Homo-oligomer: A and B are copies of this chain.
């Protein structure tokens, strides 16, 4: 349920219609998260049903606006940190864990393969960031790239740690 709140956030900048919400959302995320139009409209339908937005159908196009409820919901989302939530299912983690079930050696191979790819991916991103980033990228894009790189670094560190733990038990 993140797109839902994302759309509310866009609408907090003022009423707009579906297509515009989509493009605004994509721009806010520096273009990394594309939205399918269909998803926007169905999500808006649900938001309307739940009293978070209202629809003005009278003009040419359908214009959505935030309601009081919607604003409160949005404010809660921005403030609230997800303390108790179950950790998001992570594909890399799942791969290693299931591979581990099939034996230490298999897990080590999976770790190695992913480390190689992740490393080169990270280097590419670093280079791109150094060369073009500061000149061409918006603040949003820079922030997104920071996140992607830090995430990749953290994944790599984790792979190393997994390997260490596996070798300790051999």
Interface residues of A (CB under 8 A from B): 2-3, 5-6, 9-10, 12-13, 28-30, 32-34, 77-79, 81-83, 86-91, 93-102, 106, 110, 113-114, 116-118, 121, 139-140, 142-144, 146-148, 150-151, 153-154, 157-158, 161-162, 165-166, 169
Judge whether A2 and B91 touch: CB under 8 Å.
yes
Contact assessment for B78 and A110 in the assembled complex, using a CB-CB cutoff below 8 Å: yes
Taking a contact as CB atoms closer than 8 A, the residue among B5, B32, B154, B169 that contacts A151 in the complex is B154
Least Cβ–Cβ distance between A14 and chain B, in angstroms = 11
Question: Which residues of the partner chain B approach A143 to less than 8 Å between Cβ atoms?
Answer: 93, 96-97, 100, 161-162, 165
Pick from B30, B82, B88, B161: contact of A150, CB under 8 Å: B161
B2 in contact with A97 (CB, 8 Å): no
Is there contact, CB below 8 Å, between A93 and B144? yes
**A6 shortest CB reach to chain B, Å:** 6
**What is the distance, in angstroms, from A104's C-beta to the closest C-beta of chain B?**
10
CB-based closest 6 A-B pairs: A9-B98, A81-B117, A154-B154, A150-B154, A2-B91, A81-B114
In the bound complex, how far is the Cα of B147 from the Cα of A6, in angstroms? 27
